[in-house]
Every structure is written in structure tokens, then in C-alpha cells.
Structure 1
Amino acid sequence: VQFVKRIFEKYPDFASKFHYENRYLKSAYMNLLLGIIETLCQQQPLELSDDDLHEASVAISIVKKGGFEVDWLEKKLEQLKEKKKQVETGQSRLQQMEDEMQKYNQKCLDLKALMEKEKADVSAANVAISFDDVF
């Protein structure tokens, strides 16, 4: 009920072209519309599958054919698709950076081990010759 009230407040003409008088049909269209909104609004973009987004697009088309003005909802769906794509791209870049960082960390560890070995070799070589070594 709260959703419906807010929709009519923000988009007062959204149902002005709805041409069915049957209350059950009206109710079915409203339930479909509310289902779309619920699906899109209660999940993060990445939680929505491509099938969810496609089904929402089909459902919006059905509601639109029924006479509802839902351009605003179509725009929101497109924004959500873009956000999902942005998140997926960002996650992919982050994973690449993480992989690259692991390579550099391993190189640093290898270099540190090499330095420790070199220090040990230098320390071993940097000792005075004892009198016993001469004779």
C-alpha cells in the first residue's frame, strides 16, 4: 500500500491510460508492477541475475502494454543494469590488481631471501684471516 501511494504521489499520471475496468485485472497489473519494484529495489545490483533483469524488462513491457506509464521504471532498470556492469567490471579490475600484487609480494619475498643469503655470504667472507690460516 505504501509503495502504491508513493508511486501515485511521484507519478500521478502513471495509470491514466490504463484501460481495463476489471478490478482483478487491475490488481494483477499492480501486483506485477509491485513485484518488479520489489525485485529491483530489495537487492544489490550484483545479486540480480541477468535472468532477473530480463524478466523485469519483460514485466515492464507487459505493464506498459496494459496502459501504465512506466518510463521512470524503465530508466531505473537501465540504471541498475549499468550499475551491475560497473560493479562486475570493478570487481574484475580489483581481482587483477590483487593477482598482480601477489606476484609483486612474492618477488619481494624472493628478493628479501636473496638479500639475506647475500648478507650471510658477505659476513662469512668479511672475517679476518687467523694466524692459524696462514700456517
Structure 2
Amino acid sequence: MVKNTESSESSDDEQSYSSSSEEWSKSSDDADEIVEVNGFQVLDSKVNQVMTIFEKHPDMASDFSLKNQQLRNAYMGVLLNLVMTLCQNPKELTMDDVNKADRTVLDLTKAGFKLHWLRQKLDEAFQKKEKKREIRVRIRLLDEKVKKRKLSLSDLESDLKKQKDAALATEASFDFCDIV
């Protein structure tokens, strides 16, 4: 169910969720529309994201029973922020982000959201981060081995050069002046 309401028509107590970097605001002069999607009020700019979530996971909020509209909207905002966090470039996503996301999924699940699909993606993100960490450790160890072997090889090459020089010295014939 999608319902549009102009934010300029809203009362001062009606609040709208804007984005992860902004907070809930009571401003009635915002230009963005408030749209209701399945009982959650979201900014027009977030409607497609929320509708996509409900299309792919229609029962996601079936056990979510909060009646307070501000809290409902806040929880939806947290869910959207969580999804956007997991959409970050893997290089930018830190293990701290993954751990915070894990706690957030737990909180949202306790509130009544069915987020098995998000838990699965979070587990994948965790596994990727862990595998990346393991690979970095292995690369560091291999790099150290290569450096040690290069030093060892350099030492061997130096010894080889000395032995060749010594061999050449023993093969050199005497010169007339050396003998006389």
C-alpha cells in the first residue's frame, strides 16, 4: 500500500525520515514528499528502496507490531541504513561495520522484522572480510619468505662469485715475471 502526503500539509509533530546522514526532523517546510509504504512513512526518495524490499520479502514486517508511527518509521530508517551499509564497497566496509550491522539485525529481528535474507547477506559479508583478512596474513607471510629467500639467494650468488673467482685464480698460468 502506497499513499502520498505532501510534507507541507503535515502537522508539526509528524516526522519524516530523510537519509542515513540526516536525522528525523519536524520541519514542515521540507520539499520532499512523505509516502506511506506498507504502514511505514518514508521520503519519496526512499520509496523505491522500501518497495523493493517489500516486493522481494513481502512477509518481512508481518510480525512487526509497533503502533507508534514515529518508532515504525525509525525502525524502517535503521533497516534502510543497514542495507546501505552492506552495499558499501567491500574495501570501505570495515569489520567494525559488519559487527555493528550484526547487532542491528539482531535488534531489528527482536522488534519483529523477519530478516533471514539480510542475515544471510551479512554472513556473506563477514565471510568475505574474514577471508580477505586470512589472505592478507598469508600474503604477508609469503612476502617475508620471498624476502628471506632473496637474501639467501643473494648470499649464495655472492659465494658463487667468490668461488668462481677463486677457481679462475687457480687456473691462471704463471707469467714470465711471476716465475723469474
Alignment of 1:3-22 (within 5 A): 3-22=49-68
Q: Is the 8 A contact 2:64 2:113 kept in 1?
A: yes
Which residue of the partner structure matches residue 90 of structure 2?
44
SS in 2 for 1:19: coil
Which residue of the partner structure matches residue 99 of structure 2?
54
C-alpha deviation, 1:116, in angstroms: 1.6
- AA matched with 2:161: E
Q: Which stretch shifts more, 21-30 or 99-108?
A: 21-30
Alignment of 1:69-88 (within 5 A): 69-88=114-133
C-alpha deviation, 1:17, in angstroms: 1.9
Q: Distance in 2 between matches of 1:63 and 1:45?
A: 26
TM-score normalized by structure 1?
0.87
Q: Is the 8 A contact 1:16 1:68 kept in 2?
A: yes
Label 1:25 to 1:89 Cα distance change in 2 as closer, same or farther (>3 A): same
Count of paired positions: 134
Q: Aligned pair 1:90/2:135, yes or no?
A: yes
Label 1:108 to 1:95 Cα distance change in 2 as closer, same or farther (>3 A): same
Which residue of the partner structure matches residue 123 of structure 1?
168
Q: Distance in 1 between matches of 2:109 and 2:65?
A: 11
Q: Distance in 1 between matches of 2:52 and 2:60?
A: 12
C-alpha deviation, 1:29, in angstroms: 0.6
Which residue of the partner structure matches residue 103 of structure 1?
148
Q: What RMSD in Å do the two structures reach over aligned CA positions? A: 1.8
Q: Which runs of 5+ in 1 are unaligned?
A: none
Q: Distance in 2 between matches of 1:16 and 1:33?
A: 15
1:83-104 Cα shifts (integer Å, max 9, x gaps): 1111111110111011001111
Q: Which runs of 5+ in 2 are unaligned?
A: 1-45
Q: Is the 8 A contact 1:29 1:63 kept in 2?
A: yes
Which residue of the partner structure matches residue 158 of structure 2?
113
Q: Is the 8 A contact 2:109 2:115 kept in 1?
A: yes
Q: Distance in 2 between matches of 1:72 and 1:19?
A: 20
- AA matched with 1:116: K
TM-score normalized by structure 2?
0.67
Label 1:57 to 1:33 Cα distance change in 2 as closer, same or farther (>3 A): same
Q: Which has the higher contact order (CA 8 A, sep 6+)?
A: 1
